[in-house]
Structure 1
Amino acid sequence: MKYVIIGGDAAGMSAAMQIVRNSDNHEIVTFEKGSIYSYGQCGLPYAIGGEVGSTDDLIARTPETFREKYGIDARTRHEVTRVDCEQKVVHGTNLDTDEPFQESYDRLLVATGASPVCPPWEGVELPGVYQLKTIPDAERIMEYMGKDINNVTIIGGGYIGLEMAESFVHLNKNVRIIERGSQLAKIFDEDMAAHIHEEAEKQHIQLNLGENVEGFEGTDKVEKVVTDKGSYDTDLVLVAVGVAPNTSFLRGTGLYLTIKDAIQVNAYMETNIKDIYAAGDCATQFHRIKKKDDYIPLGTHANKQGGIAGLNMAGRTKAFKGVVGSSIIKFCDLNLGRTGISESEAQQMDIPCHSVTIKATDRAGYYPGSEKMTLKLTYHKENMQVLGVQIVGGEGVDKRIDVLATALFHEMTTEDLLDLDLSYAPPFNGVWDPLQRAARKAK
C-alpha cells in the first residue's frame, strides 16, 4: 500500500507515524513545502520573546530522522499544486530545482495546515511588516528586532496578537494593538474581555479598538500605520488577523470544502472522495456542544486528527470524538482560559441559557500566595447542562478549564459538577472548587 501525505507538520507526521506502527507492508511519501518537519508552532512567540532559547528547540523530529529511523520518504521544498483524484496522482513543483514532479498513491492524506491572512493593504510589502506562522517567519522577526526597534504595532487581538504582545513587552518594546472589533479576544464574552483590557493597560500596551487599518507608510521600511482614525509611528508591524486553510489547490477536484474553505471530513477523517483523507488546520472538527462541524485550528486537534487519519488509512478503524472548544492563552500576568461555548455564542445559536460569574482564588483564601480568578459558567437554563466556562486569572486557570472540558465531553449538568470528587488541600484548592461554587450559585 502506497501512502502519500501532503504536509510535514503536526497532522501529517502524526498520521505517518501511525501508519508506520500499524501496517507491515507500506510505502510512505510525504511532501512539505518548507524545509522543516514537525515543529512546535505554538512556541514561536516564546522563542521571539526569549523564553525559549532557540527556534531549534521547537523541532521535534528532523526530515533525516523520519527517513533514516522510520523509512519515510520525507521530501522538503516540494509543493503539491494539483491532485488528480481519478488517476490517483499528485502533481507539484520541486521548489529548489523548479522542476515538476508527480507521485501516485493508493491512499492520500491532505494535511496542508493553514496560512495567515493578510489583507491587501497599501504598503504591506514594506520591510518591517511581518506575519508569524513558521520558524523562518520567527527568525526574520528576530533578525529585524536586532535593529533599532522601539515601537511595535500588532494588528489583531486574537491568540497570536496577545501572545506576541506579551513577548514584545518582555523585550521592553512599546506595544500598540489595533483591533477592528470592540474587544480583544473575541472568543470571550465582553464582560470577561474587560479584564484583558485592564491587563493591557497595566502593562502599558496601547489599545486601539474599533479601528480599521488602511495601510502602511515608509520609504525603505515601515514607519507608520494608517487607520480610519489616524496614523501611528511604528518600527515593526505584526499582522495577526487570522488564518485560512491551505486548500486552494484542491479547487476543481470535487473535494467538498465548507467553513472558510476547510475540507469537510467525517469522524474517520475521510473526505467525500474515496481514499482521500484530511486532517488538521485544513479540515473541519466536529464540535460536541454545538452538535455540528466547526473550524478551530489548534495544534491539539491537528495531532489527534492526524493520528486518527493514519490509523484509518492503515485499516485500523477509529473515530475522532470531536472537540469542545478548549483553549488557554498566557497574556502577561493573566491566564485566559475557556472551553465549550460562551454566553454570546449560545444566544446566537438560540440556546436558552443562563450564566453566573464568581470571584475566587486558586487555593484556600488564607493560604499564602493565593491568586484571584474570575470565572463565568454558562449553562442551559432548562436542563441545566453545562455549556461552557470562561476563566481569567492567575494560577489554577488551566486546572479548572480541563476539569470543565471533561465535564462537557460527558454532557454533565451543574448538579453533576457538585457531585465531583475534586482534590483539596489548602495549598491547592478551597474546600469547594471554584467550578463547584459557580455550579452551586447556578443551582
Structure 2
Amino acid sequence: MTQADEARIANGGLEVIDTPEAFARGVARIAEGEGPVAVDAERASGYRYSDRAYLVQLYRRGAGTLLIDPLPIGSLAALGEAIHDEEWVFHAATQDLPCLREIDLDPATIFDTELGARLLGMERVGLGAVVEELLGITLAKAHSADDWSVRPLPTSWLAYAALDVELLVDVRDLMAQRLVDQGKDGLARQEFDDILVRELGAKRSEPWRRMNGYSKLRTPRAQAIARELWLARDAYARETDNAPGRIVPDRALTAAAAAMPSSRGALQGLKEFTGRESRSQLDRWWAAIEAGRSTTDLPSRRGERPAIPPHRSWAHRAPDADARLRAGRAAVERVAETLGMPVENVLTPDYLRRVAWEPPTTIDTATIAAALAASGARPWQVDAVSELVARAFVEVGQPPAHADETAS
C-alpha cells in the first residue's frame, strides 16, 4: 500500500456504501460529476458458486470514488439511471457486465480500455501494464484473486479496488487520442458498441464434458458416472454458494468415474477421491455414482455435434475447406500486420472458419462480405478483409458443397 493510500484511509476516504441512505447520497454525488464514469466490479470467482458482484467501484471527475457493497442494497437501478446517458469506462467490460446487469447497471455507451489496448497493438493489455505504459504509474498486483465475499472488506483491499477506477478515466483519454491518431477511433466505437449487444455469460451445453480428466474416460458408462458426479456437485455448489472446485476438484470426480467403485466403502477408500467435502458428503457422491452405474441414458461419445467439424480435422476430412481456411487466414494475418493489431481482433477466427467450410456458391468480395456480416463480423472488419479473403478463396479453387460431410 502506498503512502497516498494510507493517508486516504486515515482520512476516511475509503468508506463502503452499504446503506440505502449512503447509497442515495452517493448517487447524488456521482450525478454532479462531469465526464465519463469509470466502473469496475469485484467478484469471488473460485470461492463462490455465483458470479455476482460483491463490490462495485465508480469514479468520476468532480465526484470522486464510490465503493458500493451491493449485498445489503440490492438493485442499483437508481445509480444506473443517474449515469445511464454517460460513457462508462471499463477495463475488459465483458467480464463485468453480466454481474452488473444482475443489479440493474446496464450502460448505453462504453469505452473498454482493454479492448482499446488490443486495437492499438499494445504488447500487454492487462490493466497494470496499460496504466504503466500510458501514465507511468505502477500498480501493485494484489487482491484480484481474493475472496471478495468476506465482510468486512480489509482496507488494503479497498485501496486496491479504488485504484482500479481512479486512473481509468485518464487512461481512457490518452487511449482515445491514440485511437484517433491511428485512425482507429471509428472501428473502436463499433467494437465497443458490439459488446453491449453481444450475449455474455452464455452457459455451455453439457458443461460436464469440460472437466479435467474427462477426455481420458474411455467408456460411456464411466462418462455417465462422471456426468452424474458433476451434476451432484453442481447442485450442491449452487445450494451452498461455493465454488464447485473447492468442494471436490474435477480430477477427483473423474478419478472416481474411472475407478467405478462398487460400494460406498470402496469410494471412501479411493485415495484419488480428494477434496474438502469428498468425505463429509460421501452419501451424495455415492448416490451419484449409483445413478451413473444404472442409467440407460449414456452420453454419446462425441457429445453434441458442432455445426462444422473441428478445423484440425479438415486436412483429411475436407481438404478443399482446409485450403480455403489456410489461405483466408494468411490474408487476415496480412491485414492484422498492416493494422498493427492481433489477428483475432481483425476477424474472429470462427467467422472465417464458417465461411471457409460453407462458402457462397459464387465467391467474390460482395458474397464473402455478406457471409462474414451474417456471422457477426463488424462493418469495419468486413471492409478490411472481404476482398482479400475472396481473392484467397478463388486462388485455391471454388469448392463443392459440404452438406453431405456435415451430416456424416
Q: Which one has a larger percent helix, Structure 1 or Structure 2? A: 2
Would you call these one fold, judging by a TM-score over 0.5? no
Report the TM-score range of the alignment, normalised by the length of the smaller protein: under 0.3
Bigger-Rg structure (1/2): 2
